[in-house]
Structure formats: C-alpha cells, structure tokens
C-alpha cells in the first residue's frame, strides 16, 4: 500500500526499545514523526538518531512524538543505542521499532524493490493528531536527513492547520505568511488584525498570526 498525503496512517502493534506499543495508543493526541532506517549500525543513521535525541526538547514543545524503525531485532537495537549515545554524546530514549518481519515496513510502503528487496528505504512520515499523513519524505542512503527542515515543516503544518494561511518559500517560524486565496481581500482585516500587504490580488501576506 502506498500512503499519500491525507491518508489515514495505519495502526500497528510493535516491539520497541521502550516496550511493546500500540501505535494509536502511544501517539494519542500528538503529532508524530515516524522514520525508517535500512538496518542497525549504519553510519548516516547513527548520526540521525543521535540528532533526534539531541532535539528532544524541540519535539516536545511542538507536541511531537518520534518513532524510529529498523528491520533488525531488538537486541541489535539496544547495542546500537549504546554506540549512538557514545558517539553522538546524547541519550536515545525514544522508541526504535524492531520490525524484523517487516510488518510495519510493508504497511507504510517503506520497502522499494529497486532500492532493496529486503531493507527499508529512509522514509519520513509526519502524522497529525487526526492520524492523517501530513508529509512524506524519502532520502537516499548517502544523504543525512535535515532535522531543522523537519522541525520547520512541522511548524508550518501546525500553523496552517490552525489558521487560513500558507507559508512561502524558505519560511521560518516568526516570519510573514500568505493569506490563502479562499479569503477575499476585503475579509482579511477581520481575520488578521495585524494588517496585510497585497502584492498581487492572489498574493497577500500578513504577520504570523500566533506571534
């Protein structure tokens, strides 16, 4: 099954490094980052898991729960975590799913046969509290994921989920946003009292409404 934006994120039960979980129960009411790794003890993924742990506070303040996945078994995961903590100077305490039978990998279409018939590609899913898929990314094995970008996208998703705005290219939290076309120009002042700028009839900007 190929998951697309707006699809319901499938539920699953899994063995993880923090114990057995039910995905829906564990993530109830939270935003979620679910991301996969081809196997344990891979160098790029070692840095990624370490970086995720270092950003624990950033994810928490956004109400985001992070889950990682690898198709290796739980014993390998625990050994890998020791290496990650040592080499990345951090403490990995979020769950890493042991998906040895590839149940979750298949459920989330993380195995791409042209890349590997057995190992997961390096997927990222951002899932909202409504359990809908909000973002998908797939990285090659050679390129480490940009977690500042993942946090930036979550900021955008959370903002645009609450207000009738969109975020422009290279937007960062605190910068001006775009008023969506569905709002008539004459209705903007009532919705966005901080003011707005009309660049073109279809391109109107306003200060970020929750700042």
Tell me if the pTM is above 0.75: yes
Read off the pLDDT of each residue in 35-61 and give the average, rounded to a whole number.
95
Q: How far apart are CA 132 and CA 128, in angstroms?
A: 6
pLDDT, residue 200, reads 97
pLDDT digit string, tens, across residues 185-210: 999 999 999 999 999 999 999 999 99
Read off the pLDDT of each residue in 116-143 and give the average, rounded to a whole number.
86
Q: How far apart are CA 44 and CA 52, in angstroms?
A: 13
Q: Considering only the top CATH level, what class is 13-145?
A: alpha beta
Task: Give the percent of the chain with pLDDT over 70.
Answer: 95
Read off the pLDDT of each residue in 104-113 and give the average, rounded to a whole number.
82
Task: Give the percent of the chain with pLDDT over 90.
Answer: 85
Active site residue 36: no
Our CA angle for 118, 122, 127, nearest 5°, is: 115
pLDDT digit string, tens, across residues 4-34: 999 999 999 999 999 999 999 999 999 999 9
Q: Compute the mean pLDDT over every residue in the chain, rounded to the nearest whole number.
A: 94
Nearest by Cα to 122 from 96, 95, 143: 143
Of the candidates 45, 105, 150, 177, the residue annotated as catalytic is 45
pLDDT digit string, tens, across residues 80-92: 999 999 999 999 9
- pLDDT-derived band of residue 2, with 50, 70 and 90 as boundaries? confident
- pLDDT-derived band of residue 53, with 50, 70 and 90 as boundaries? very high
pLDDT digit string, tens, across residues 141-157: 889 999 999 999 999 99
pLDDT, residue 114, reads 58
- 168 has a pLDDT exceeding 80: yes
Read off the pLDDT of each residue in 30-46 and give the average, rounded to a whole number.
93
163-206: CATH topology: Antioxidant, Horf6; Chain A, domain 2 (3.30.1020)
**Cβ atoms within 10 A of the Cβ of 77, count?**
20
Burial letters 6-19, b for 16+ CB under 10 A, else e = eeebeeeebbbbee
pLDDT, residue 82, reads 98
Domain ranges of the chain: 13-145, 163-206
pLDDT, residue 110, reads 84
């Amino acid at each position: 099954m190929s998951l697309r934006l707006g699809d319901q994120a499938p539920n699953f039960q899994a063995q993880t490094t923090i114990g057995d979980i039910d995905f829906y129960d564990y993530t109830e009411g939270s935003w979620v980052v679910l991301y996969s790794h081809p196997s344990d003890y891979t160098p790029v993924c070692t840095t990624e898991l370490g970086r995720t742990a270092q950003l624990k506070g950033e994810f928490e303040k956004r109400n985001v729960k992070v889950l990682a996945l690898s198709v290796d078994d739980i014993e390998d995961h625990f050994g890998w975590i020791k290496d990650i903590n040592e080499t990345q100077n951090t403490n990995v305490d979020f769950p890493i799913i042991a998906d040895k039978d590839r149940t979750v990998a298949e459920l989330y279409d993380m195995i791409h046969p042209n890349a590997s018939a057995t190992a997961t590609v390096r997927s990222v899913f951002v899932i909202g509290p409504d359990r809908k898929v909000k973002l998908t990314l797939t990285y090659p094995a050679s390129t480490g994921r940009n977690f500042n970008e993942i946090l930036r996208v979550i900021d955008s998703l959370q903002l645009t989920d609450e207000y009738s705005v969109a975020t422009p290219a290279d937007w960062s939290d605190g910068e001006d946003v775009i008023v969506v076309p569905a709002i008539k120009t004459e209705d903007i002042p009532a919705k966005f009292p901080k003011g707005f700028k009309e660049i073109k009839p279809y391109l109107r900007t306003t200060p970020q409404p929750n700042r």
